[in-house]
Amino acid sequence: MSSRPTAEFPTPTKPNARARAASLEDVAALAGVSPGTVSRALSRPEMISEATRQRVLEAADRIGYVPNGAARAMAMRRTLTVGAVIPRFGTSSFPTMVQALETTLAERGYTLLLAAPDNKGSQTTDMVRTLLARGVDALALLGSRHPQEVFALLKTQGTPFVQLWTQDDALGPCVGFDESQAAALVVDHLADFGHREIGFIGGYTRNNERAEARLAGLMRAVAKRGLTLREDATVETEYGLQQGFDAMERIRLGGSPVSAVVCGNDYLAAGALAALDQAGVPVPQRLSVASFNDNEFAPFMHPPLTTVHLPIQEMGEQAGRHLLAVLQNQAPEAAAPLPVHLVIRRSTGPRG
C-alpha cells in the first residue's frame, strides 16, 4: 500500500462525458406523462402511483436520463441527503446502527452521507463542516459531547439534527437508553448469584462519553447493592478483542479476589473469555463474565455470554424516524429511553 496519488485536485472544468444529455421533457414524452409527473416520480414518489413511477423510471433508464442532483437540489432547496458523524466502525456496534439509520431514511428517499475521521485525526467539527458544505438536510451525531462550535454551526445553518446513544438532551433531541438501568440489570444478576467483589474491563472514559456513562452507571448499581468494584481488577482500555484478552490476563495474574468481571462491551468480553479459556479457568465456576450490547456473536462464545441487550438497531431506526418527521414538518415521536433487557446465558453462575 505504498503509492499514493499526490497531485492536486482536478480542475473544475473536468468534463463529464455527457454528450447529448436526455432532458426531463424527453422522459415525460417517452413515458406519456407530464414533466411535473416525472419530477414527482423522481423526488416525491409518495405523490404518485407505483405504476406511474415505474413507467417514468423505465423511460428514464431507456434514454439514460439522470436528474442533475445539484441543480435539482438548488431548485428544491434541499438535497435529500442526511449526514452521519460516526467515529469508527471496527469492533463496535456502529455499523448495525448506521445501517438501520440508512434503511429507515432510504424508505423515504433520503441517502445517507457518511463522515468518519480521516487518518489525520480530524475532529467532529471538521466532519460536521464537511457534511454541511455538502448541503445535507439533516444530521445524525453520535453522542452529545461535541465542541460548542458544532452546535453553533448547526444553529446558524438551521439544520435539524439528532444525537444517538445519549440521553443528554440539553443541546437538542436525542435517542438513547438508560445506562443506569442497563448497569443495574447486570449488577443485580451478579449480586443475586452471591458475588460481592467485582472487576471491570471498560473502554477509556476520557473523551468517550459512552464509556464514561457505562462506568458511572456500574458504580451506582454496585453501590446500591453494597458490592465492591475492586480497583485492582479494573482496567480501562481500547474497545477490542485483543484488549479484552490482555486486560483479563492482567486481572487473572494480579490475583484479585474477584469472582465476577463485567466487561464494557461484548468485544472486550469475547477477548476476556478467550484469555480464560486458554488459561484453563472454568467459566462461570471460577469466574463469571457479563457484558453489554448483545452483539450477534454473544450466543456463540465459549461459554455463551450473559449480556445486556442494548437497542442498537432501534436507535438507528428511531433517529431516522425522528429526522424524517422533522424534515416533513411533523411532530417527532416522544424521545423516551429505549428498552434494555438482560440476556442470561452460561458465562454467569453462582459464586464458586
Which of positions 290-309 make contact with a second copy (CB under 8 A)? 296-297, 299-302, 304
Q: Interaction with a second copy in 116-135: which residues (CB under 8 A)?
A: 116-120, 122, 125, 129-135
3-state secondary structure 198-261: EEEEEECCCCCHHHHHHHHHHHHHHHHCCCEEEEEEEEEECCCHHHHHHHHHHHHHHCCCCCEE
In the bound state with a second copy, the residue whose beta carbon lies nearer, of 32 and 89, is 89
Q: Interaction with a second copy in 155-194: which residues (CB under 8 A)?
A: 156-159
Q: Name which position in 23, 29, 35, 149 contacts a second copy (CB under 8 A).
A: 149
Give the C-alpha separation, 124 to 233, whole Å.
33
In the bound state with a second copy, the residue whose beta carbon lies nearer, of 24 and 262, is 24
First to last CA, the chain: 51
In the bound state with a second copy, the residue whose beta carbon lies nearer, of 49 and 156, is 156
Note whether 286 binds a second copy by CB under 8 A: no
Note whether 339 binds a second copy by CB under 8 A: no
Q: What is the DSSP letter of 119?
A: T
Note whether 285 binds a second copy by CB under 8 A: no
Of the ranges 25-33, 179-187, 188-196, 316-324, which one interacts with a second copy (CB under 8 A)?
316-324
Beta-carbon contacts of residue 161 (< 8 Å; ≥ 6 apart): 138, 139, 140, 141, 154, 172, 173, 323
Grid cell in block for residue 91: 469492533
Beta carbon of residue 189, minimum distance to a second copy (angstroms, whole number):
22
Beta carbon of residue 96, minimum distance to a second copy (angstroms, whole number):
6
Q: Name which position in 90, 226, 255, 280 contacts a second copy (CB under 8 A).
A: 90
Please tell me the count of residues contacting a second copy according to CB under 8 A: 107
In the bound state with a second copy, the residue whose beta carbon lies nearer, of 57 and 216, is 57
Q: Which residue do the cell numbers 440476556 mark?
A: 343
Note whether 280 binds a second copy by CB under 8 A: no
In the bound state with a second copy, the residue whose beta carbon lies nearer, of 35 and 304, is 304
Note whether 310 binds a second copy by CB under 8 A: no
Cβ–Cβ under 8 Å, residues 237 and 280: no
Beta carbon of residue 144, minimum distance to a second copy (angstroms, whole number):
20
Of the ranges 187-195, 217-225, 227-235, 266-274, which one interacts with a second copy (CB under 8 A)?
266-274
* 228-237 and 81-85 beta bridge pairing: unpaired
In this structure, is the dihedral angle defined by the CA atoms of residues 327, 328, 331 and 332, taken in order, positive or negative? negative
Give the C-alpha separation, 155 to 146, whole Å.
14
Q: Interaction with a second copy in 200-259: which residues (CB under 8 A)?
A: 240-242, 245
Grid cell in block for residue 118: 480521516
Of the ranges 164-172, 184-192, 285-293, 312-320, which one interacts with a second copy (CB under 8 A)?
312-320
Q: What is the DSSP letter of 88?
A: -
Q: Name which position in 27, 53, 56, 79 contacts a second copy (CB under 8 A).
A: 79
The distance between the two most distant Cα atoms of the chain, rounded to a whole number of Å, is: 80
Q: Please state the separation of Cα 281 from the chain's center in Å.
A: 34
